A and B are shown apart, each in its own frame.
Chain A
Amino acid sequence: MTTTNRLAAEPTAVGASERRPVPRKRRESGLTNTRLWLWRIFLVVAFVVCWELASGRIVSELMVSRPTAVAERLWTWITDGTLGEHILVTAQATGLGFALGAGAGMLVGYITASFRRFGDVVEPAMTALYTMPRLALAPLFILWFGLGMQFRVIFASVIVFFLVYFNTHFGVKDVKGELIAAVRLMGASRREVAIKVVIPSALVWVAAGFKLSVPYALIGVVVGEMLASDQGLGYLLQRSANQFNASGTFATIITLLVIALLLDFILTRLTGRFLGWRSKGALNPL
């Protein structure tokens, strides 16, 4: 949406479309927006209708269930408290894992970028660990931390750590030396340079790392719950699938989808408060 608006604003900024009558342009973009949303909603509705019609006729209901059955299952789980209980467990682990991983990632990323020599020593090891598929760590972590919440939290935080670490590291390295020099002349100490220049400047990168890693935190927790747990949405998913309960499986998947979207929305709102300046100005290629 934002992209569309920005693209539409670009020619005006460079003066190319100054002669275009303004009212027409407004009507155009207004219509486009409404139409766009109508199409989006239509797509979802059409999918659900097709699913309902196809189920039991073209595809076995045992495999794909049907939207009405999924809704029914969701309703039962919501009313009897099952869903709430499992959501709480998953959300807790995701939140904790994200906070731990993101906190550690920012700290280590900041240190390795600020102290170049240390960073040079550590970087190859970090890259090696990053390229390794982290799911492979799960059995080891189960061995170390057991089957409880601790394992899932740490597993998720390790996944988040690397994403936030690399973004912070490069974000801090990317800060313009010119800006630092200017602030140093004003009398800023090292600490003030960090607070006034380096951190705000790196925040764009860090925020991108956050956005990228929230879904991964959720994936880490859910996978952990599927592997070894008797609670959480991952467990619910695994149990439903094992019992050939397609409606339960889909109900859980839809719940996860909603949670992921919600988390992304919250994070975008939170980071947007600090990054509002980026959407200002007529021409912003980023």
Chain B
Amino acid sequence: MARPDHATRQAQPSPVDRAGGGQPLVTLENLTFGYPGGETILEDLDLRVRQGEFLALLGPSGCGKTTIMNLVAGFVRPRQGTVVFDGAPLRGINTRVGYMTQGDTLLPWRTVAKNVQLPLEIRATPRARANQLVDSYLGMLHLSDARDRFPSELSGGMKRRALLARSLIYEPAMLLMDEPFAALDAQLREALHRELLSTVAQLRQTVMFVTHDISESILLADRVIVLGTQPAGILAEVVIPFGADRDLAEIRLSNEYLGLERKVRDLLRQ
């Protein structure tokens, strides 16, 4: 199933290899960032994310991963260099991205359906169309039975899925995910990884995913960028060859996966 029929969405990236070709959707050029009067957090960073790609940023805590996300979201501005989004330099808040963090940003006074519908209300999507979209996204993320529940009535996994639905429903050009599953137990995380991958594949969604978990980055991404500590720079780039319709359970046991994990671990240790 492709993204539920949407006229507004721009041309899809060709479904050819996700890590390969493709136009860059985001380009960070020569980027330096630090808070006013504070130390430099990022220095001379160059980074490209291609259309349809699943990119993971991997690094120890405090290495500036979240800062990169905030730069792409337009919450903060670089000290030097530019963020080019879809061909134009970014100014102000980037309303063409969806952002999912570790925190619970569901509005507690709205039901699941109303939370998921929120971006459509803000974008003044006609009601009939909005209802249709809410139904299809809730269905896609297995939340149809929970549509009338309040966030306080949801389990941790359901909250994550509701947040994912809300971040995707307005068809953002790019989905930013900042350790979205960090607070969950291993089993639930695995289930959500599978769900995320199938959703991303269905929608051919471009994703930038921040994590400090090596296996998570390898299992999910097409390309892993390994970051060093402050001021952060790119240590290495590892291409993950598993493709979009990967079987996570099988990959985990493969020698290829173990080799990649060892490689990344060694890189981080340097």
Residue ranges of A at the interface with B (Cβ–Cβ < 8 Å): 176, 178-179, 181-188, 192, 196-197, 200-201, 203, 274-275, 277-278, 280-282, 284
Secondary structure dominating the interface of B? loop
Q: Are B122 and A186 in contact (CB under 8 A)?
A: yes
Task: State the main secondary structure of chain A at its contact with B.
Answer: helix
Contact A187–B123 (Cβ < 8 Å)? yes
| Among B93-101, B197-205, B245-253, the stretch in contact with A | B93-101
Query: Known: A178-B101, A196-B118, A200-B109. Contact between A186 and B152, CB under 8 A?
Result: no
Given the contacts A178-B103, A186-B122, A196-B122, A277 and B93 also touching, CB distance less than 8 Å: no
Q: Complex formed: what's the CA distance from A182 to B110 in Å?
A: 15
Indicate whether B81 reaches chain A with its CB closer than 8 angstroms: no
Q: Which of A176, A178, A192, A280 has the most CB of B within 10 A?
A: A280
Q: Report the minimum CB–CB distance from A280 to chain B (whole Å).
A: 4
Question: What residues of B have a CB within 8 angstroms of the CB of A196 in the complex?
Answer: 107, 118, 121-122
State whether B93 touches A185 (Cβ < 8 A).
yes
Query: Which residues of B from 146 to 162 have beta carbons under 8 Å from A?
Result: 149-153
> Which one of A179, A192, A203, A277 contacts B122 once the chains associate, using CB atoms below 8 Å?
A192
Q: Is the CB of B118 within 8 A of A183?
A: yes
B239 nearest CB across to chain A (Å): 30
Interface residues on B, range: 20 to 34
Docked CA distance A64–B57 (Å): 79
* B94 partner residues in chain A, CB cutoff 8 A: 185
What's the least CB distance linking B4 to chain A, in Å? 18
Contact status B105-A187, CB under 8 Å: no
How far, in whole Å, are A284 and B150 apart by their CA atoms in the complex?
12
- How far, in whole Å, are A176 and B109 apart by their CA atoms in the complex? 14
Please determine whether B93 and A184 come into contact, CB atoms closer than 8 angstroms.
Answer: yes
By beta carbon, the residue of chain A nearest B97 is A185
Q: Is B119 an interface residue (CB 8 A)?
A: yes
Complex CA distance for A184 and B170, rounded to whole angstroms: 13
**How far, in whole Å, are A186 and B105 apart by their CA atoms in the complex?**
13
Contacts of A176 in B (CB 8 A): 105
A274 to B172, CA, bound (A): 31
A31 to B152, CA, bound (A): 29
The answer to whether A181 and B123 touch across the interface, beta carbons within 8 angstroms, is no
- The chain B residue with its CB closest to the CB of A280 is B150
CA distance A282 to B155 in the complex (A): 11
The contact of A179 among B75, B105, B121, B150, by CB within 8 Å, is B105
- Write out the residue numbers on chain B whose beta carbons fall within 8 Å of the beta carbon of A188: 122
Interface centre among A184, A186, A187, A192, by most chain B C-beta atoms within 10 angstroms, is A186
Cβ-defined contact, B152 with A280, below 8 A: yes
| B150 lies within 8 A of A277 (CB) | yes
Residues of A within 8 A of B149 (CB): 280
Q: Is B210 close to A, CB under 8 A?
A: no
Residue B243 at the chain A interface, CB threshold 8 Å: no
Q: Let me know if A185 and B121 touch, CB within 8 A.
A: no
Question: When the two chains form their complex, are residues B95 and A186 in contact, meaning their CB atoms are under 8 A apart?
Answer: yes
* Alpha-carbon separation in the docked complex, A188 to B110 (Å): 17
Q: Could you write out 11 A-B pairs with CB less than 8 Å apart?
A: A176-B105, A185-B97, A185-B98, A186-B118, A186-B123, A200-B107, A275-B109, A277-B109, A278-B109, A280-B153, A281-B152
